[in-house]
Structure 1
Amino acid sequence: MRTQFTSSRRKEDQAYQHQFILHAALDVVQDLAWATSLFLKSVDRFNDLVVSVYITAGHTRFMLLHDSRSEDGIKSFFQEVHELYIKIFLNPLYLPGSRITSSHFNTKVRALARKYL
């Protein structure tokens, strides 16, 4: 019983730590967002984790926390997620700035992650 509680708690702590790392990287991204667009590669590091960012022309930020070294795979992942995002954005029922709740979008992003990451 104790090992289940410990591993569950560890996963929860790790999820909070990942959120903290991404939020901390937002400061760096904010500074770079107005100077450039598209793939920024790695903008921040924490231990063995890397934060990579893709910024659209409309300044929407896609952030990925990963431990992988394949920049080509990460760039391809971001480009295809950007295409999916544009399709969602062009939907007349989507309210810009609102949360994307489409299960189809979620499934496609997860499939792209398995493919490229």
Structure 2
Amino acid sequence: MSYHFAIVGTRDNPLFDLDFGTSKLGGDGLSHFKPEAAHMNQFILHASLDMVEEVQWANKDLYLKKIDSYQNNSIHCFLTATNVKFLLLMNPDPSATPYSQHTPGTTTSPPPRAAANAKHSATLLAANPSSPQTEEAVRVFMGEVYESYVKCTLNPFYRANQIITSPIFRSRVQAAAKKYL
């Protein structure tokens, strides 16, 4: 399973980006997205910002849960008090996501998975993105990242909507991903 995590600023500008894979159940922790997914993942997350604006008023919590899905991807969102958005794109099988074969205006579904692969993916978090286990793991991950984000933004040299380049912040996000996802 592969993940793309992004922090989007108040002006819908990207502040932070990270690709990683699952570390649970023998995962290697590496992202297995196809090369064309690098830009598509950013596009999918930014396209889901419209859904964030709709969902944020219907939910009293900062963690908005699963807000959107596209092809084989599920998008989860955490909204900060300053309207900065934490977006997590989850893809259980990046090799089955046909980014380059998709044409606007058509609906394509990923090819069917092999039975062995389906059996293994049923135990993974993203096999059911709306399951309570997945929602809890993502909520705890987002909470830990939010705590690191607050500490990062308390730096007197940090300005609002500035790109986060701190290697310490990046390592803390990676550690939280390894711990919970």
TM-score scaled by structure 1?
A: 0.83
The answer to whether 1:48 aligns with 2:56 is no
The answer to whether 1:107 aligns with 2:131 is no
Deviation at 1:59, TM superposition (A): 1.1
Structure with greater proportional helix content = 1
Amino acid at match of 2:73: L
Deviation at 1:93, TM superposition (A): 1.4
* Cα pair 2:55 2:67 within 8 Å, conserved: no
Counterpart selection for 1:79 from 134, 143, 151:
143
Counterpart selection for 2:56 from 15, 29, 33:
33
SS in 2 for 1:53: strand
SS in 2 for 1:52: strand
Deviation at 1:42, TM superposition (A): 0.6
SS in 2 for 1:96: coil
* Cα pair 1:33 1:59 within 8 Å, conserved: no
Task: List alignment gaps of at least 5 residues for structure 1.
Answer: 1-9
The answer to whether 1:13 aligns with 2:77 is no
Identity %: 40
Aligned to 2:155: 91
Deviation at 1:35, TM superposition (A): 5.0
**Structure 1 CA distance for aligned equivalents of residues 80 and 57 of structure 2:** 11
The answer to whether 1:58 aligns with 2:122 is no
**Structure 1 CA distance for aligned equivalents of residues 176 and 85 of structure 2:** 17
**Higher relative contact order by CA 8 Å / sep ≥ 6: 1 or 2?**
2
**Structure 2 CA distance for aligned equivalents of residues 28 and 13 of structure 1:** 24
Task: List alignment gaps of at least 5 residues for structure 2.
Answer: 1-32, 92-125
**Structure 2 CA distance for aligned equivalents of residues 100 and 33 of structure 1:** 24
Amino acid at match of 2:158: Y
**Structure 2 CA distance for aligned equivalents of residues 63 and 55 of structure 1:** 9
Structure 1 stretches of 4+ moved >3 Å? 33-37
**Structure 2 CA distance for aligned equivalents of residues 93 and 17 of structure 1:** 32
Counting matched residue pairs gives 108
